[in-house]
Structure 1
Amino acid sequence: MKIINDIDSIQIPCECTATIGVFDGVHRGHQHLITLMMAEARRKGTASMVITFDRQPREVFDATYQPQVLSTLDEKRAYVSQLDVDYLVVLPFTRALASLTAQEFMQQVLREKLNVTTLVTGYDNRFGKNRTEGFDDYVVYGRELGMEVLRGDAEMMTDGSCAVSSSVIRQLLTEGKVEQMPACMGRYYQLSGTVMPGEHIGSTLGFPTANLEPGNPHKLIPASGVYAVWASIGDAPKKAAMMNIGTRPTFKGHHTTLEVNIFNFEGDIYGQTVTIDFVARLREERRFDSPEALVKQLEEDKKQVEQILNQTK
């Protein structure tokens, strides 16, 4: 896959079939659309192209906006690369880009810069200034430009309740429903962070933890609680682990921490990156009457985590 970050410094030599969107999380709905686009590219004998943006569009217009993203830009690149597309184009989302009408965007960017001859849009995707135009307009503009515009259908939730979407996934994560992520995303939800010095409370309880500082402050953190997770230190294989997200109310904590107890592991990993795969949420975080009561619960939590992770190997 060739990654293009500057469309002004490259010439696309071949005709392309493309799809465009923010693609936050590159979830099953996005994967479905990209698969449709790739099938159309094969049918027409063109290159396949995914076009996305380097940030959430709302960030450009609202300085106070704090996005809660499902994937960082690096993660998005990695997820798309696994789908075997020919080109990934990352457009810097600027006010100048946002000022283009859909027709101007299709002509100046898609047709002239990126050599797109077929565009496959999402079933509800809108682009261009103020997002006032829709699929029927894109078809007309495309015809004028020698570009065929097609629309993909929605990928539904397994229960048929609604389409898989980034907003649905965010809601599930804020409720701690990480068990539904493989069905929604095709993989576990991931969060990476740097191991920072903590207060060593876990060590005094017999459950030493790595205190994680998220690598991206905008990455969505699941609901507080205790989780069964897989933890990867750098590029090392995944290890079974138990994670707590919360304020540690038993010890009168006031700010949220992300602490992971990696089973059967000893070593100094301060400053290293740990990636968490969320498998299941065991329970809410709660206050215990004593450290001893907390330890008893943690022992039970560990047994449950081991049972859950043994089933996912």
Structure 2
Amino acid sequence: MELIRGLHNLRPQHHGCVATIGNFDGVHLGHQHVLEQLATKAKQFGCPSTVITFEPQPLEYFAGGAAPARLMRLRDKVNALRRYKVGRILSLRFNKALADMPYQEFIERVLVKGLGVRYLVVGDDFRFGKGREGTFAHLVAAGKQHQFEVVHMPTFNVGTDTETGRVSSTRIRTALEAGQFKKAEKLLGHHYKMTGRVAHGEKLGRELGFPTANIHIHRKVTPLHGIYVVTVEGLNDLVVEGVASIGTRPVVNGKKVILEVFLFDFNESIYGEQLEVSFLKKLRDELPFDSLDELKVQIVIDVEQAKDFFKQH
């Protein structure tokens, strides 16, 4: 699979494809259904499939820190799309130039001249171009003019214990924020995960008797805050159980959100390793403590509760 960063990196060999456009945040079951449809069409047309996405996501550009937490960063998205036979990803830098681009120019530069799209899948409520003036109807009209078919993404519904409805990143985000991990898993098709590289920290966990792997998650906003039961992959072929904290560590007046993982029955140096952390259950919110001794007592409780969870599952 090829990652193309920006319109300026499109080359003649990228002309001719079937494509879809969207954030693809989470690459959930609804997205997977679209990607399967796209793979079928790519085989039918004898050309690559291309996912057109944006970095940052448009709402992050317009709303800044007030934008909803994204489910995954670009690196994780690329790795997820690779599993669904996507041939290429065109990642467009969402900046002022793209935000101000009229929809007619987007169609001409990106879809027609840039990619030579032969088949396009988008949501029927998809809006694009300056002022969000471009609509599904405009794409259909352009398709008729330039000989490419435009279809809307089929609604993909999934039922959970409490409701049935369309799978969406918003629905998953809401479930995660409420600690409803079983529901999020049903919508994603797998456990919710975060990935990152282990970096040196302040060694506070080691001082307390609970050395942690410190993982910088490179996100402005995260859908998770608190203490969680987790499993960790990326350590050879091991799946290691543990307990994780996502937060700012108020006991030491921390400011930056960081993911810290205490691995059970594991005592190796793993600095620099790329880890994948799966979240299984929320234990509690992040709490302020008056002393490190109080924090240590709570960590002991957290570890016991996490180990009890694994005994029962």
TM-score range, shorter chain: 0.7 to 0.9
Q: Deviations over 1:164-212 (max 9, x none)?
A: 11122222222222333321222222223434334535654x5x13152
For 2:5 and 2:241, the matched residues in 1 are separated by 37
Task: Give 2:31's aligned amino acid.
Answer: H
Mapped pair 1:200 → 2:204 = yes
Q: Which secondary structure state, in structure 1, belongs to the residue aligned with residue 94 of structure 2?
A: coil
For 1:217 and 1:106, the matched residues in 2 are separated by 31
Give the one of 214, 231, 234 matched to 1:212.
214
Report what 2:190 is aligned to: 187
Q: Which secondary structure state, in structure 1, belongs to the residue aligned with residue 269 of structure 2?
A: coil
Q: Which has the higher helix share?
A: 2
Give the one of 171, 174, 188 matched to 1:171.
174
User: Normalized against structure 1, the TM-score is what?
Assistant: 0.82
Q: CA deviation at 1:6?
A: 4.2
Report what 2:4 is aligned to: 4
Q: CA deviation at 1:82?
A: 0.7
CA separation of 1:109 and 1:271: change in aligned 2, threshold 3 A: closer
Report what 1:17 is aligned to: 18
Determine if contact 1:191/1:219 at 8 Å carries over to the other structure. no
Determine if contact 1:179/1:281 at 8 Å carries over to the other structure. no
CA separation of 1:99 and 1:180: change in aligned 2, threshold 3 A: same
User: Normalized against structure 2, the TM-score is what?
Assistant: 0.82
Determine if contact 1:117/1:147 at 8 Å carries over to the other structure. yes
For 2:247 and 2:95, the matched residues in 1 are separated by 36
Determine if contact 2:54/2:91 at 8 Å carries over to the other structure. yes
Consecutive unaligned residues in structure 1, runs of 5 or more:
none
Q: Alignment length, in residue pairs?
A: 304
Q: CA deviation at 1:301?
A: 0.9
CA separation of 1:183 and 1:253: change in aligned 2, threshold 3 A: same
CA separation of 1:89 and 1:271: change in aligned 2, threshold 3 A: closer
Task: Give 1:177's aligned amino acid.
Answer: Q
Question: What is the correspondence of 1:115-194 to structure 2 with a 5 Å cutoff?
Answer: 115-159=116-160, 161-193=164-196, 194=198
Determine if contact 1:197/1:270 at 8 Å carries over to the other structure. no
Task: Give 1:77's aligned amino acid.
Answer: V
Q: Which secondary structure state, in structure 2, belongs to the residue aligned with residue 303 of structure 1?
A: helix
What is the aligned-residue RMSD (CA, Å)? 3.1
Q: CA deviation at 1:62?
A: 5.2
Mapped pair 1:304 → 2:308 = yes
For 2:170 and 2:306, the matched residues in 1 are separated by 32
